[in-house]
Amino acid sequence: MNKIPVMINGLPGNVARIMAAAALKDERLSLIPCSLTGEVIEEKSVTIEGTEITLIKPSVRDSLIPEILEQNPGAVSVDYTHPTAVNANAEFYTQHGIPFVMGTTGGDRDALEAVVNLSDTPAVIAPNMAKQIVGLQAMLEFAAKTFPGLYRDYTLEVKESHQQGKADTSGTAKALVACFNDLGTGFDASDIQKIRDPEVQEKEWGIPREHLGGHGWHTYTLKADNGSSLFEFRHNINGRDIYVSGTFDAVVFLAGKMQQKDDGKRFYTMIDVMTQKG
Protein backbone atom coordinates (compact mmCIF):
# COMPACT_ATOMS: atom_id res chain seq x y z
CA MET A 1 0.00 0.00 0.00
CA ASN A 2 1.37 3.39 -1.00
CA LYS A 3 1.54 5.87 1.82
CA ILE A 4 -0.71 8.91 1.67
CA PRO A 5 1.20 12.22 1.73
CA VAL A 6 -0.31 14.35 4.47
CA MET A 7 0.32 18.01 5.24
CA ILE A 8 -0.45 18.96 8.84
CA ASN A 9 -1.31 22.65 8.93
CA GLY A 10 -1.31 24.78 12.06
CA LEU A 11 2.20 24.33 13.39
CA PRO A 12 3.63 25.35 15.78
CA GLY A 13 0.22 24.93 17.49
CA ASN A 14 -0.21 22.18 20.06
CA VAL A 15 -2.83 20.11 18.24
CA ALA A 16 -0.87 20.25 14.99
CA ARG A 17 2.23 19.10 16.86
CA ILE A 18 0.41 16.05 18.17
CA MET A 19 -0.94 15.28 14.70
CA ALA A 20 2.48 15.66 13.06
CA ALA A 21 4.16 13.40 15.62
CA ALA A 22 1.44 10.78 15.18
CA ALA A 23 1.62 11.00 11.38
CA LEU A 24 5.32 10.12 11.51
CA LYS A 25 4.38 6.87 13.25
CA ASP A 26 1.33 5.97 11.15
CA GLU A 27 2.19 3.36 8.52
CA ARG A 28 -0.56 4.65 6.23
CA LEU A 29 0.83 8.17 6.02
CA SER A 30 3.88 10.08 4.83
CA LEU A 31 4.32 13.45 6.53
CA ILE A 32 5.06 16.33 4.16
CA PRO A 33 7.75 18.48 5.85
CA CYS A 34 5.80 21.71 5.34
CA SER A 35 2.97 23.33 7.31
CA LEU A 36 0.76 26.34 6.69
CA THR A 37 1.01 28.79 9.55
CA GLY A 38 -0.08 32.32 10.47
CA GLU A 39 1.48 35.49 9.12
CA VAL A 40 2.46 36.59 12.64
CA ILE A 41 4.39 33.41 13.47
CA GLU A 42 8.08 34.24 13.85
CA GLU A 43 9.52 30.73 13.59
CA LYS A 44 10.60 29.61 10.13
CA SER A 45 10.48 25.90 10.99
CA VAL A 46 9.76 23.46 13.81
CA THR A 47 11.28 20.07 14.54
CA ILE A 48 8.95 17.17 15.37
CA GLU A 49 10.47 13.85 16.39
CA GLY A 50 13.68 14.77 14.59
CA THR A 51 11.91 15.92 11.40
CA GLU A 52 12.27 19.57 10.43
CA ILE A 53 9.06 21.07 9.08
CA THR A 54 9.11 24.35 7.18
CA LEU A 55 6.43 26.87 8.13
CA ILE A 56 4.68 28.59 5.23
CA LYS A 57 2.91 31.91 5.69
CA PRO A 58 -0.21 33.04 3.77
CA SER A 59 1.79 35.66 1.87
CA VAL A 60 3.93 33.04 0.11
CA ARG A 61 1.85 29.87 0.10
CA ASP A 62 0.33 30.33 -3.36
CA SER A 63 3.77 30.47 -4.93
CA LEU A 64 5.13 27.47 -3.00
CA ILE A 65 2.23 25.02 -3.07
CA PRO A 66 2.54 23.91 -6.76
CA GLU A 67 6.00 22.43 -6.16
CA ILE A 68 4.88 20.80 -2.90
CA LEU A 69 1.96 19.13 -4.66
CA GLU A 70 4.14 18.06 -7.58
CA GLN A 71 6.52 16.35 -5.16
CA ASN A 72 3.66 14.78 -3.19
CA PRO A 73 0.97 13.56 -5.59
CA GLY A 74 -2.27 12.63 -3.88
CA ALA A 75 -1.57 14.86 -0.89
CA VAL A 76 -4.27 15.48 1.73
CA SER A 77 -4.22 18.43 4.13
CA VAL A 78 -5.18 18.35 7.79
CA ASP A 79 -6.18 21.74 9.20
CA TYR A 80 -5.72 22.53 12.89
CA THR A 81 -5.04 26.22 12.56
CA HIS A 82 -7.09 29.10 14.03
CA PRO A 83 -10.82 29.95 13.80
CA THR A 84 -10.01 33.17 11.95
CA ALA A 85 -8.21 31.21 9.22
CA VAL A 86 -10.88 28.59 8.53
CA ASN A 87 -12.60 30.14 5.52
CA ALA A 88 -9.48 31.52 3.84
CA ASN A 89 -7.76 28.14 4.24
CA ALA A 90 -10.74 26.29 2.76
CA GLU A 91 -10.66 28.61 -0.25
CA PHE A 92 -6.92 27.96 -0.61
CA TYR A 93 -7.39 24.17 -0.51
CA THR A 94 -10.22 24.18 -3.02
CA GLN A 95 -8.44 26.58 -5.39
CA HIS A 96 -5.45 24.24 -5.50
CA GLY A 97 -7.46 21.01 -5.49
CA ILE A 98 -6.15 19.75 -2.14
CA PRO A 99 -8.55 17.37 -0.32
CA PHE A 100 -8.66 18.43 3.32
CA VAL A 101 -9.78 17.46 6.79
CA MET A 102 -11.00 20.55 8.66
CA GLY A 103 -10.46 19.93 12.36
CA THR A 104 -10.41 23.64 13.18
CA THR A 105 -13.67 24.97 14.59
CA GLY A 106 -15.09 28.46 14.17
CA GLY A 107 -15.33 30.60 11.08
CA ASP A 108 -18.43 30.86 8.90
CA ARG A 109 -19.51 27.23 8.70
CA ASP A 110 -22.20 27.84 6.07
CA ALA A 111 -19.66 29.56 3.84
CA LEU A 112 -17.23 26.74 4.51
CA GLU A 113 -19.71 24.12 3.33
CA ALA A 114 -20.65 26.24 0.31
CA VAL A 115 -17.08 26.70 -0.91
CA VAL A 116 -16.53 22.94 -0.76
CA ASN A 117 -19.78 22.11 -2.56
CA LEU A 118 -18.97 24.57 -5.35
CA SER A 119 -15.53 23.05 -5.87
CA ASP A 120 -14.08 19.83 -7.23
CA THR A 121 -12.29 19.16 -3.93
CA PRO A 122 -13.63 16.70 -1.34
CA ALA A 123 -13.34 17.55 2.34
CA VAL A 124 -14.23 16.07 5.71
CA ILE A 125 -15.51 18.81 8.00
CA ALA A 126 -16.69 18.18 11.56
CA PRO A 127 -16.76 20.06 14.86
CA ASN A 128 -15.07 17.10 16.53
CA MET A 129 -12.83 14.35 15.18
CA ALA A 130 -13.07 12.10 18.26
CA LYS A 131 -15.02 9.09 17.03
CA GLN A 132 -16.64 8.39 20.41
CA ILE A 133 -18.02 11.94 20.61
CA VAL A 134 -19.15 11.75 16.98
CA GLY A 135 -20.98 8.56 17.93
CA LEU A 136 -22.72 10.38 20.79
CA GLN A 137 -23.76 13.12 18.38
CA ALA A 138 -25.13 10.52 15.96
CA MET A 139 -27.16 8.93 18.76
CA LEU A 140 -28.65 12.29 19.70
CA GLU A 141 -29.43 13.03 16.06
CA PHE A 142 -31.21 9.69 15.83
CA ALA A 143 -33.17 10.48 19.00
CA ALA A 144 -34.09 13.92 17.65
CA LYS A 145 -35.46 12.41 14.42
CA THR A 146 -37.24 9.57 16.21
CA PHE A 147 -38.60 11.47 19.24
CA PRO A 148 -38.96 15.13 18.21
CA GLY A 149 -40.00 17.34 21.10
CA LEU A 150 -39.07 14.73 23.74
CA TYR A 151 -37.60 17.40 26.03
CA ARG A 152 -40.06 20.16 25.19
CA ASP A 153 -40.86 20.79 28.87
CA TYR A 154 -37.21 20.91 29.93
CA THR A 155 -34.67 23.69 30.34
CA LEU A 156 -31.17 23.09 28.98
CA GLU A 157 -27.93 24.35 30.53
CA VAL A 158 -24.63 23.88 28.71
CA LYS A 159 -21.13 24.40 30.10
CA GLU A 160 -17.93 23.72 28.19
CA SER A 161 -14.36 24.08 29.38
CA HIS A 162 -11.30 24.20 27.12
CA GLN A 163 -7.73 25.44 27.43
CA GLN A 164 -7.33 29.16 27.89
CA GLY A 165 -6.03 29.67 24.36
CA LYS A 166 -9.15 28.32 22.62
CA ALA A 167 -10.66 31.40 21.05
CA ASP A 168 -14.12 30.23 20.04
CA THR A 169 -17.05 28.48 21.66
CA SER A 170 -16.87 24.72 21.22
CA GLY A 171 -18.21 23.59 17.86
CA THR A 172 -19.11 20.27 19.45
CA ALA A 173 -21.25 22.02 22.04
CA LYS A 174 -23.05 23.94 19.29
CA ALA A 175 -23.66 20.72 17.34
CA LEU A 176 -25.12 18.92 20.35
CA VAL A 177 -27.23 21.95 21.25
CA ALA A 178 -28.77 21.68 17.77
CA CYS A 179 -29.74 18.08 18.59
CA PHE A 180 -31.27 19.05 21.92
CA ASN A 181 -33.21 21.84 20.22
CA ASP A 182 -34.64 19.29 17.81
CA LEU A 183 -35.67 17.41 20.94
CA GLY A 184 -37.61 20.49 22.02
CA THR A 185 -35.42 22.58 24.35
CA GLY A 186 -35.31 25.88 22.43
CA PHE A 187 -31.82 26.73 23.71
CA ASP A 188 -29.86 29.67 22.26
CA ALA A 189 -26.29 28.62 21.46
CA SER A 190 -25.09 32.06 22.56
CA ASP A 191 -26.01 30.99 26.12
CA ILE A 192 -23.38 28.25 26.20
CA GLN A 193 -21.18 28.93 29.21
CA LYS A 194 -17.57 29.07 28.00
CA ILE A 195 -15.00 28.40 30.75
CA ARG A 196 -11.41 29.42 30.02
CA ASP A 197 -10.05 30.39 33.48
CA PRO A 198 -7.45 27.78 34.61
CA GLU A 199 -8.08 28.52 38.29
CA VAL A 200 -11.81 27.90 37.92
CA GLN A 201 -11.13 24.82 35.82
CA GLU A 202 -8.86 23.25 38.42
CA LYS A 203 -10.58 24.29 41.65
CA GLU A 204 -14.25 24.23 40.67
CA TRP A 205 -14.30 21.69 37.85
CA GLY A 206 -11.59 19.35 39.12
CA ILE A 207 -9.72 19.25 35.83
CA PRO A 208 -6.23 17.79 36.41
CA ARG A 209 -3.56 20.48 36.44
CA GLU A 210 -1.48 18.65 33.82
CA HIS A 211 -4.39 18.91 31.37
CA LEU A 212 -5.34 22.55 31.87
CA GLY A 213 -3.40 23.35 28.69
CA GLY A 214 -5.33 20.82 26.63
CA HIS A 215 -8.77 19.42 27.49
CA GLY A 216 -12.44 19.48 26.53
CA TRP A 217 -14.98 19.01 29.34
CA HIS A 218 -18.66 19.40 28.47
CA THR A 219 -21.80 19.10 30.56
CA TYR A 220 -25.36 19.26 29.20
CA THR A 221 -28.02 19.44 31.92
CA LEU A 222 -31.74 19.03 31.23
CA LYS A 223 -34.11 20.06 34.03
CA ALA A 224 -37.85 19.49 33.94
CA ASP A 225 -39.73 22.77 34.20
CA ASN A 226 -41.80 21.39 37.09
CA GLY A 227 -38.67 20.28 38.97
CA SER A 228 -39.56 16.60 38.86
CA SER A 229 -36.55 15.27 36.96
CA LEU A 230 -33.04 16.00 35.74
CA PHE A 231 -30.91 14.41 33.01
CA GLU A 232 -27.23 15.08 32.48
CA PHE A 233 -24.87 14.21 29.61
CA ARG A 234 -21.10 14.61 29.98
CA HIS A 235 -18.01 14.02 27.90
CA ASN A 236 -14.71 14.93 29.54
CA ILE A 237 -11.56 14.63 27.45
CA ASN A 238 -8.06 15.15 28.85
CA GLY A 239 -5.33 15.84 26.30
CA ARG A 240 -5.74 15.64 22.54
CA ASP A 241 -4.77 12.09 21.63
CA ILE A 242 -8.41 11.06 21.15
CA TYR A 243 -8.63 13.27 18.04
CA VAL A 244 -5.77 11.59 16.18
CA SER A 245 -7.46 8.35 15.16
CA GLY A 246 -10.55 10.00 13.70
CA THR A 247 -8.50 12.62 11.87
CA PHE A 248 -6.32 10.05 10.14
CA ASP A 249 -9.30 7.83 9.33
CA ALA A 250 -10.71 10.91 7.58
CA VAL A 251 -7.45 11.33 5.64
CA VAL A 252 -7.63 7.72 4.44
CA PHE A 253 -11.33 8.20 3.59
CA LEU A 254 -10.55 11.21 1.39
CA ALA A 255 -7.67 9.44 -0.31
CA GLY A 256 -10.10 6.65 -1.16
CA LYS A 257 -12.64 9.10 -2.53
CA MET A 258 -9.99 10.51 -4.86
CA GLN A 259 -9.50 7.04 -6.31
CA GLN A 260 -13.20 6.34 -6.83
CA LYS A 261 -15.55 7.35 -9.60
CA ASP A 262 -16.79 10.89 -9.12
CA ASP A 263 -20.29 10.83 -7.61
CA GLY A 264 -20.61 14.59 -7.38
CA LYS A 265 -20.42 14.75 -3.60
CA ARG A 266 -17.76 16.92 -1.99
CA PHE A 267 -18.76 17.68 1.60
CA TYR A 268 -18.42 14.84 4.11
CA THR A 269 -18.73 14.56 7.87
CA MET A 270 -17.11 12.25 10.41
CA ILE A 271 -20.29 10.18 10.38
CA ASP A 272 -19.63 9.55 6.67
CA VAL A 273 -16.11 8.47 7.57
CA MET A 274 -17.23 6.17 10.37
CA THR A 275 -19.98 4.53 8.32
CA GLN A 276 -18.11 4.72 4.99
CA LYS A 277 -21.14 6.27 3.37
CA GLY A 278 -21.36 9.05 0.83
Please pick, among 82, 131, 162, 174, the residue that the annotation labels catalytic.
162
> What pLDDT is stored for residue 1 in this prediction?
67
> What pLDDT is stored for residue 262 in this prediction?
72
Cα angle 225-230-234, degrees, rounded to a multiple of 5: 130
Alpha-carbon dihedral sign for residues 198, 202, 206, 209: positive
pTM of the model: 0.86
Q: Is the pLDDT of residue 2 over 70?
A: yes
Share of the chain above pLDDT 90, in %: 91
Q: Is the pLDDT of residue 278 over 80?
A: no
Query: 96 an active-site residue?
Result: no
CA 242 to CA 215: how far, in whole Å?
11
Query: 162 an active-site residue?
Result: yes
Per-residue buried b or exposed e for 126-163, using 16+ beta carbons within 10 Å of the residue's own CB: bbbbbbebbebbbebbebbeeeeebbeebebebbbbbb
Q: Which domains does the chain have, with CATH numbers?
A: 4-125+242-275 (3.40.50.720), 131-238 (3.30.360.10)
* Residues 12-42: tens digit of each pLDDT: 999 999 999 999 999 999 999 999 999 999 9
Q: Is 30 exposed, middle or buried (0-12, 13-18, 19+ CB in 10 A)?
A: middle
Please pick, among 57, 82, 145, 166, the residue that the annotation labels catalytic.
166
Share of the chain above pLDDT 70, in %: 99
